[in-house]
Amino acid sequence: MSEEFKVEIVNPEKSFLVKDDVSEVVVPAFEGEMGILKDHISIISFLKPGIIKILSKSGDENFYVEDGIVEFKNNNLSILTSTIFNLADMDKSKQQDLLKQAEEEANKTDINDQSKYLADQKVEVLKTLN
């Protein structure tokens, strides 16, 4: 039995990534990081800003996401997200831009606790990337 399953990342514009030789995916779920292996129970959860790690035969990949939903069912992992970047393609200036945006957002006073929390998360994650 192979220990691999299929992962699909879609953003509103297109199907971002499809891979079917994935052995493990770590997603930044809302209540903490979550590693998903083959034959995981069906689950729906949503994401907070963080790093998605995809471990597969053809090489590991890391993505930065700001939000999204994960659905795992029948060894198919679907990740729906509106903001996603491949860390390999992300250069310093892009990082700085995002960080600046996130910081601005976090410093707003007229936002509710949850958006504040999410913005803080963004800042934190982006800082660790540097």
Partner 1 sequence: MASLDDLKKRIASVKSTQKITKAMKMVAAAKLRRAQESAEKGRPYSKKMNNVILNLSNGISDKENAPKLLSGTGQEKTHLCVVMTSDRGLCGGFNSNIIKKAKSYFAKILDEGKELKIITVGSKGNDQLKRVYGDKIIENISFKESKNANYFDADKVGKMVIEKFEADEFDVCTIFYNQFKNVITQIPQAQQIIPLNNEAEENSSEESYEFEPDEDEILSNLLPKNISTQIFKAMLENSASEQGSRMSAMDNATRNAGEMVDKLTIEYNRSRQAAITKELIEIISGAESL
Binding site for partner 1 (CB under 8 A): 10-15, 29-31, 34, 41-46, 67, 69, 71, 73, 78, 80, 82
Q: How far is the CB of 15 from partner 1 (least distance, A)?
A: 6
The CB-based long-range contact list for 114-119 (8 Å cut-off, 24+ gap) reads 118/48, 118/49, 118/67
Q: Which is nearer to partner 1, 13 or 59 (CB)?
A: 13
* Nearest to 65, CA basis, from 4, 130, 118: 118
Decide whether 43 or 107 has the Cβ nearer to partner 1: 43
Cα–Cα distance, 18 to 56 (Å, whole number): 12
Q: Which is nearer to partner 1, 118 or 126 (CB)?
A: 118
